[in-house]
A = this chain, B = another copy of it.
Amino acid sequence: MTQTVDQTAQETNFVGKRTRRQDAPEKLTGRTRFAGDISAPGLLHARLVLSPYAHATINNIDVSEALNVPGVVAVYTSETLEMANPDATSRSQAPLARGEACWAGHPVAIVVAETEAAAEDGVALVDVDYDPLPVVLDPVEAMRPDSPLTRLHASKEGGEIAGGGAHAAVGSGDTEEEEQEELSANVSGKTHMKLGDIEAGWREAEVVIEHTVSTRPVHQSYMESQSILVSPSPSGHQLVVWPSAQGMLGVRSDISEALNLPERQIRVESVPIGGAFGGKFGLIEPLAAAVAYKVRKPVRLSFTRQEDLLAGNPAPQAVITLKLGAKKDGTLVALQGKAIFDSGAYPGAAAGLGGYLLASTYRCPNVDLHCYEVLTNKVSVGAYRAPNAPQATFAMETTVNKLCEALEMDLLAFRKHNAFKEGDPTIDRRSWPRIGLLECIDELEKHPLWVNRAEEKHKLPTELKGWKVGIGISVGGWPGGTEPSAAACRLESDGTLSVVLGTVDLTGSDTSMALIAAEGLGVSLDQVNVVHDSTDTMPYSGGTGGSKTTYSMGPAVLSAVRDARQQILNIASNMLEAAEADLEIVEGKVAVRGVPNKSVDLKEVAKMSTRRFEPVYGRGRAGITTSSPMFAAHLVKLAVDPDTGDVKVLDYVAVQDVGRAINPAEVEGQISGGVTQGLGWALFEGYEYDENGQLLTPTLMDYALPHSFDVPQITPILVEIPSALGPFGAKGVGEPPVVPVAAAVANALHDALGVRVTTIPATPERIFNALHEANQA
């Protein structure tokens, strides 16, 4: 099922071996307890009052009836909760609507009660007096100077993406003096990226293609909804926080800022997390903390699935128009585009990142990209696995296919001709390091499904008789993130090694860290225990995201373990009266090389270290500030029913450059998961609204996640072009597999039907309509 193209030769004992995730048994047996499972004596339950209007003035909020409900302890509005930054443009800092509800689902008040049921009863009795206002839903409409405003006091300040982890990694290209453009105040951010002279590009171009696509908001659909427990510490000195969040120090600083409390008065505990995918970089934590701080009791806030869809932070909707110009030989000479990212009710869609991604696959001397972040009366957005990359790649890779058609050029030949390679300039004036884009395309090109694509188009399960088969490809990438990191490790009295981390393990990274530690120390995996700390004491770690955890924390772990190893050898050298250089660690012992019986157990070393020497306590610090971009090339075979637009994905091949797979089992799991989520983008998932801004997909009955029977066999092929910086050559893995999927599927649909669906998800209805329009044309 998996093929690995190993281009590295570094000999390892543990790294690179398929290893079961250490958290798997607890998770598979249902024993893991998540934030929403944690209780505390005197626990109170919080529930939100959500605005039923997509846009309305709030004249008054009467909480008196709610307070009469037995068990209701308090009801807070933005007026009474008294957060430190009520005017912040960040949803997490100012979580309750202030005078104005800006989407249907905007939290207006929060009810705290002794039971969940009492809180719900209280919610039903909070009486909010609304005056409906005009609703703006379409981001293109919202940009027009004459558009109604999405909030009475629209902000023109561009915000940062909520899940800033990924954003931090990328530059923003060339932002010159902007030409005047008349835009609505709903436009909350603009980025203009330029390279060369686009007009010269058009003059040079022999073939020009323009294509417009659009997407819908897509939810991260983590299994565990947004959840948090906040409790005053027993002494009342600290607020203790058990969040479902991707970064612990980020939660601490968010709460510190929102409550104007010193960071040391907030302790964020490490809690297992049930998925996040970018959607848990900070949303409900300051709100829950503010309530707990007010009532001085433990408070739990845990979203229902409906609340998570209505009031979470999905990926932004996008409308992207690209115009590409190429010479007859396929050389790309002009790339122009307009990318509109719908940020919903708050800034944060990171439109510039979308532009950066559009310019980060193919070499092009003349680039002109306009990116807009636009506010609408929809739920505000957050990061989602490779933020903005599925949208940008859907646009780019379908447009490229159109261009190839016009050029009558092989799809892979065009891509190989123009693909970035080491030394090419990036859009932000740096230089591409050694990347694996070409190698990924090469692998894809060699795959039987591609080689035999002509025959494959005729192979169809009998039950799909009459359906049309399409084979599609796409490439896509992710620039990668970096963050300085630290780690510690301690030799235990039983001879095992504890690796102390502050990272949140989203995807099995603890197991990778354990493999790295086992490799670095020379002990078996079961001798290594990865442990987590609260924010009071944890070694520094940023949030988990941007495909940077293994890449940036791995070196810190390796350094900590090597530090401990040196300490161990030093002590053992004393104990064995042998030179350190002659010692090796094998099978839990320090042994003198070549003297089989002269050895000492690590257990003995540990005991002596706390009696006669110094405790073995390794420390690692890593400061990688250069990312290692990663690429994938995908190949999909699908069948489509031309009568109904029904689609069945039949086969999927995902080639990805992972640098070095620390734990191939985990890497493959990431790729399968990413492709599955990509199929959601491509075919199933999307927020739909009625004209009043009411969400039509507020439950998992309406919002279509791919089911297991929608997902084909996925074959991950790992290309290993080692990173110069990542541990053992590893690059990030998490984001790329979601990136090319929608484009590959759309290209396959075109291959099957000869028509292009330009809006994803490509639902049967949209496919049917596209076919119908083509027939009418």
Contacts and interface: CB of A to CB of B under 8 A. Distances in A.
Interface of A: 26, 31-33, 37-41, 43, 233-237, 249, 253, 262-264, 272, 483-486, 488, 490, 492-494, 496, 498, 500, 529, 531-533, 536-540, 542, 567, 609-615, 617, 619, 621-623, 625
A609 B235 contact: no
A621 B489 CA distance: 13
A315 to B, nearest CB: 26
Nearest to A168: B611
Contact of A33 (B235, B494, B529, B621): B235
A237 B536 CA distance: 23
Given A235-B31, A237-B31, A493-B263, A488 B540 contact: no
A657 to B, nearest CB: 26
B531 A537 contact: yes
Contacts of A529: 264
A623 B609 CA distance: 8
Contacts of A500: 536-537
Counting every copy of the chain, the complex holds 2
B235 A484 contact: no
A614 B38 CA distance: 34
A614 B532 contact: no
Interface SS of chain A: loop
A486 B617 contact: yes
Contact of A617 (B542, B611, B619): B619
A621 B625 contact: no
A31 B488 CA distance: 33
Contacts of A615: 484-486, 539-540, 621, 623
Contact of A533 (B33, B537, B610): B537
Contacts of A41: 39-41, 43
A38 B531 CA distance: 24
B540 A490 contact: yes
A234 B38 contact: yes
Nearest to A494: B263
B492 A263 contact: yes
Nearest to A253: B493
21 contacts: A31-B236, A33-B234, A33-B235, A37-B234, A263-B493, A264-B492, A264-B496, A484-B609, A484-B610, A484-B613, A486-B490, A486-B615, A490-B540, A498-B536, A498-B537, A537-B537, A540-B610, A542-B610, A614-B622, A615-B623, A619-B619
B486 A235 contact: no
A621 B233 CA distance: 30
A617 B680 CA distance: 42
A612 B617 contact: no
A237 to B, nearest CB: 6
